[in-house]
Amino acid sequence: MSPGLAETATAILERARPSTEQAEVFASEVSTTSMRWLNGELEYERLVTNRGVGLRVVAGDRYGYSYSSALDPAGVETLVGLARDAAAANRGSAGYRLPPRSELPVPVVSGLCHPAALGTTTADRHELPARVAGVLGEITDAAAPPVRVQRMLCVDNHGRRSITSSTGVAGSYQVSGVSLWIELLTDGRSSHAFANGRSLWDLDLRADLGAAVARLARTAGPPQPAEGVATIVLSPPAAASLIGAIVPALTGEAVRKGHSHLAGSLGRPIAGTLLTIDDDPLDVRGMSARPFDDEGTPSAPLRLLDCGILTSFLHNYATGLAGGTESTGHAFRSSYRSTPEVAPTNLVVRTGKLSTSELVRAAEPCLYVDEWHGGRATSSRAHTGRFSAVLSGTWWRGGGWAGPAEPVGVAGRIEDLLRRLVLVGAELGTELSNSYTVRTPALAFEGVRLSGRQR
């Protein structure tokens, strides 16, 4: 954070305190560069710095929230006034209190900000297309149809998040990140590669482009219909979508509001015994790692599912209080404009012993699923546990890839599907969601009913 913003945050806290019982200022400043190429030509370059503050107050025994990017004296007056107006309208929040300072130590999380990220230049970014082309040249088969990059989007950022409150919460940390999305085309078919890391030099282009090129190769040929009951193997991206589908039901917010079908399931099996999921905010390989959450609670790993048994929900301070427990350190704000919600950071699925290729062979015949469409919040109903999704993938039969499958639908109760888990891979893929990371291997489920086009 620039000294100016830090001083402003402190000044806002001081300005808000006389007219409020409690106040908290969350400040962030993030510099982001976005570049997109279309067919090798730079389409745009966007260099911006987002900075602003969110002000949470307790005034008249009620809770109010305001935010602003206008941080001059007039803007600060407006900010404080809006927070007090909001508190006055917040009739149901009587007795609300801000989180106290935690007695737990704040962990040191090394590697959140790659030193090289701070010195990234425009020239470094302009070299990306050549780097990608070089790797593609090395990994593609010269005899195969040429693979070309249609679109490429690189977003790199670095910044600082900071929190200070009248209850003694105080902290600040610096973070950097890069995500690279590449769309590959061959023979009219497309595939996408995602790479992420802490700096441009931290990207594993060979692995991520390799996965996308391999997908292009195995999806050649006419799509085949699918219908009936089959074993499906979810690739790491598809498995991440499935894991993401249960996240809305894992938050203390959903439990408190009666929106979680998993409420009341603590200590009970909700998945096959092979499924263990942790949330690990200290794992810097996950892009949402952090030393403390967005209301200052120190971070710590948390087991959510242990051999299929639900062991915990995610909580911020308010949902922890409402649930008769404590914050698990999962307060999340998408930016300073957002009140603290509840979200995971880095979900990590415990691996098995089979490589992905061994797992596919062991599951034969099976549908290897590259994409799981619609399984996140849009169609997974947190309150009912029902889901419906459309899968895209490739058949594995007779010891080899047997062509792409036409899109097929799967639907039912998500717990029923999770109980059909029979194999877990050993190779973790890292997938980004909007607000968290999922690190999961391939997952195989047997006896899954597919609905496709009938012939």
What track of x and - describes contact with other proteins for positions 334 through 363 (by CB under 8 A)?
---x-x------------------------
Q: Cα separation of 92 and 95, whole Å?
A: 9
The verdict on 19 binding other proteins (CB under 8 A) reads no
- Contact of 293 with 319, CB cutoff 8 Å: no
Q: Which stretch binds other proteins (CB under 8 A): 42-50, 306-314, 351-359, 425-433?
A: 42-50
Report the largest interatomic distance among the alpha carbons of the chain, rounded to a whole angstrom.
75
What b/e sequence results for 25-43 when a residue is b if at least 16 CB atoms lie within 10 Å of its CB, and e otherwise? Answer: bbbbbbbebbbbbeeeeee
The verdict on 82 binding other proteins (CB under 8 A) reads yes
Q: What are 406's strand-pairing partners?
A: none
The verdict on 60 binding other proteins (CB under 8 A) reads no
**What's the N-to-C CA distance of the chain in angstroms?**
61
Q: Which of 261, 290, 330, 333: binder of other proteins (CB under 8 A)?
A: 261
The verdict on 449 binding other proteins (CB under 8 A) reads yes
Q: Which stretch binds other proteins (CB under 8 A): 62-70, 283-291, 420-428, 438-446?
A: 62-70
What track of x and - describes contact with other proteins for positions 365 through 404 (by CB under 8 A)?
--------xx--xxx-x-xx-xxxxx--------------
Q: Which of 11, 19, 60, 90: binder of other proteins (CB under 8 A)?
A: 90
Q: Which of 79, 209, 216, 310: binder of other proteins (CB under 8 A)?
A: 79
**Vertex 415: Cα angle to 412 and 419 (nearest 5):** 110
The verdict on 321 binding other proteins (CB under 8 A) reads no
Secondary structure E strands in 272-345: 277-279, 302-306, 309-310, 331-332, 341-342
Q: Which stretch binds other proteins (CB under 8 A): 98-106, 127-135, 284-292, 408-416?
A: 408-416
Tell the burial category of 403 from Cβ atoms under 10 Å away from its Cβ (0-12, 13-18, 19+): middle
The verdict on 7 binding other proteins (CB under 8 A) reads no
The verdict on 190 binding other proteins (CB under 8 A) reads yes
Q: Which of 6, 17, 21, 50: binder of other proteins (CB under 8 A)?
A: 50
Judged by CB, which is closer to other proteins: 49, or 357?
49
Nearest in space to 297 (alpha carbons), one of 160, 435, 106:
106
What track of x and - describes contact with other proteins for positions 110 through 149 (by CB under 8 A)?
------------x---------------------------
Q: Which of 12, 23, 80, 86: binder of other proteins (CB under 8 A)?
A: 86
Q: Cα separation of 164 and 101, whole Å?
A: 10
DSSP 8-state secondary structure symbol assigned to residue 337: T
- Give the number of other CB atoms < 10 A from CB of residue 216: 19
Determine the residue type at 281.
P
Q: CA distances (Å), 239 to each of 16, 48, 342, 389, 431, in order? A: 46, 34, 22, 13, 10
The verdict on 68 binding other proteins (CB under 8 A) reads yes
The verdict on 69 binding other proteins (CB under 8 A) reads yes
Q: CA distances (Å), 108 to each of 42, 45, 174, 413, 414, in order? A: 39, 34, 12, 40, 37
The verdict on 196 binding other proteins (CB under 8 A) reads no
The verdict on 266 binding other proteins (CB under 8 A) reads no
- What is the smallest separation between the CB atom of 299 and other proteins, expressed in angstroms? 25
Q: Which stretch binds other proteins (CB under 8 A): 91-99, 162-170, 232-240, 396-404?
A: 91-99
Secondary structure E strands in 276-378: 277-279, 302-306, 309-310, 331-332, 341-342, 346-349, 366-373
The verdict on 258 binding other proteins (CB under 8 A) reads yes
Residue ranges binding other proteins (CB under 8 A): 38, 41-48, 50-52, 54, 63-71, 75, 78-79, 82-83, 85-93, 122, 150-151, 190, 257-259, 261, 337, 339, 373-374, 377-379, 381, 383-384, 386-390, 407-412, 449, 451-454
